[in-house]
Amino acid sequence: MAGPTPVIIPTNVPNEYNFSFGVNMFSLYDTAVANVKFGLQIYDTTPTLISDTRQYPNLAGYAHFDVQNILKNKTVPTKELQLTEYIKDSANETFEFTVDYGWEGNSGVFQSGGTFSGTFLVIGGTKRFDDVYPDFTPYIPNIANLGGPICPVITSPGKPFSDLNITINKNDITDGVPDWLMNDANYTNIYHNEMRVTDDYTITYMNQYQNATLGTQFDGIKGFLIDTYNGDTHLESIAINNTTFYGGQYGTVSAYSFPLEDFKVLTVQCGQRRLQDSIASGCTHFYVSSFTYADETNPCDVIPTANDYYPDALHIPTRIDIVEDECNDFEQVQVSWLNSYGFRDYFYFSKRRDFNINVERNSYDRLPGNWNESTFGINSYERGDRVFSQQIREEYVINTKYLSDEQAVFLQSLYKSPDVKVRFGDSDEWFGVKVLSNNYTEKTFRKNKFFQYELRFELANKQQSLRG
């Protein structure tokens, strides 16, 4: 006689957003206690079946499915992200999916019991081992007073997807600051970093906002604004709209719809590729952030030069200081690495640089002499030990300037990163490297006074060699 028909219900459900490198748990319970194999199927948004997993319940009658290994393979970093011209989507770094649940029927056929509500999005970042349901609230701006002639109110800005922990109090800034920053009471401290005039620099943001009143998610970034300065003098406002022309989602600048899967996270280039005119005019620093839409008839639209952006930033702004090479410095090396969120962070090394070549040779012995001639002889330039192949490793050791405690903490992310790239001097080329510095030791001014960090690496692609 057949047993009871399973009645399977979801118990643990991940949040809508999660990181793929860490626990991604779906849990099921059969109220009919039919003692059958539970099943979990993951579909992409086309929908195409991505995985079909089965397991028996535990002693308590529950089945826990940790699908992180499946999701890790669906989220990969963009190799050329640091070369972004304007805006880059997150088609590689994010994966949106739906989940069906059920049980294993006759002949192993999956029997559907239902579908988890909504869609899920994972970002190719990491999280703490015990952080099963990470809180994405810090990355999603909260906004009120949507629609009509009422000015939107950003109640709390979001954080970029960066490990940068260095901040500066905007009230302590003594040179040029844009009005949209000084007049916004949502934040006092903003992020702060440095770059050279030839450096690339990208920042990544969550592309949507949450309505503080309705508790509902809405469309997000209309565009990015880069305000450049020479001391106190404002040079230009560079507006990069979230449109297809700049690599974004929308055809025209207008009130937006909810972002599609590949555009729920956006990366913007704010380095030298976008600052050519300002650099030529002596740019000393600039500010960058994301902005939402303000209609041309909206009374709060007070930045007409910024393509009708609402004047409060969606995300906490970043200030970047342009630093000049010192005459006694070595050729500087800009380093870009995959941060804990699966995107890029940057720093430059400006002090001592050493370079060496390590060669591993495979050789064989050959008797010298012209054995195949009518007379035998040995030429002085002949060799008995010949090189059949060799591996050439180009190894570098670079050093930072003296660092602050905050910069030292920031560089932890570099030493832990699995994907590091470097750019030498003023070259436009980035090279993948294998980091040989396998230890990071905490340094602080209190313990070490003035301190630096050293990075050892070799080029990830070995130089080809001739045979002897």
pLDDT tens digit sequence for 242-284: 889 999 988 876 655 678 889 999 999 999 999 989 999 999 9
The whole-number average pLDDT for the span 213-231 is 83
Cα distances (angstroms) measured from residue 283 to each of 166, 236, 268, 324, 417: 21, 10, 19, 11, 31
Q: How confident is the model at residue 305 (pLDDT cuts 50, 70, 90)?
A: very low
Same domain, 203 and 176: yes
Same domain, 164 and 241: yes
Is residue 122 included in any domain, yes or no? yes
Last residue of a domain, one of 273, 289, 322: 322
Same domain, 290 and 403: no
Using the predicted structure, report yes or no on whether residue 448 has a pLDDT greater than 60.
yes
Is residue 468 included in any domain, yes or no? no
Q: How confident is the model at residue 394 (pLDDT cuts 50, 70, 90)?
A: confident
Same domain, 163 and 242: yes
Please count the structural domains in the chain.
Answer: 3
Other residues' Cβ atoms within 10 Å of the Cβ of residue 430: 17
- CATH number of the domain encompassing residue 50: 2.60.40
CB-based contact 281:230 (threshold 8 Å): yes
Last residue of a domain, one of 296, 322, 348: 322
- Looking at residue 428, its amino acid is D
Instruction: Tell me the residue range of the domain where 448 lies.
Output: 333-459
Which has the minimum average pLDDT: 48-57, 380-389, 404-413? Answer: 380-389
pLDDT in tens, 92-140: 999 999 999 999 988 899 999 999 998 999 999 999 989 989 999 999 9
Is residue 103 included in any domain, yes or no? yes
Same domain, 369 and 294: no
Is residue 1 included in any domain, yes or no? no
| Residue 347 φ/ψ, nearest 5 degrees | -160, 160
Same domain, 36 and 164: no
Same domain, 41 and 161: no
Q: How far apart are CA 76 and CA 126, in angstroms?
A: 12
Non-local CB neighbours of 421 within 8 Å, separated by 6+ positions: 82, 335, 336, 337, 430, 431, 432, 433
Last residue of a domain, one of 297, 322, 347: 322
Same domain, 174 and 306: yes
Is residue 178 included in any domain, yes or no? yes
Same domain, 250 and 360: no
pLDDT in tens, 404-431: 999 999 999 999 999 999 999 888 899 9
C-alpha closest to that of 429 among 453, 461, 406: 461
Using the predicted structure, report yes or no on whether residue 141 has a pLDDT greater than 50.
yes
Peptide bond into 47 cis (omega under 30): yes
Same domain, 35 and 99: yes
Same domain, 318 and 410: no
Is residue 328 included in any domain, yes or no? no
Which has the minimum average pLDDT: 66-70, 127-131, 275-279, 304-308? Answer: 304-308
Cα atoms found within 13 Å of the Cα of residue 321, Cβ hemisphere only: 15
Residue 68 is inside which H or E element, if any?
helix 68-72
Residue 43 is inside which H or E element, if any?
strand 38-43
The percentage of residues in the chain with a pLDDT greater than 90, rounded to a whole number, is: 53
Is residue 344 included in any domain, yes or no? yes
Same domain, 42 and 171: no
Is residue 464 included in any domain, yes or no? no
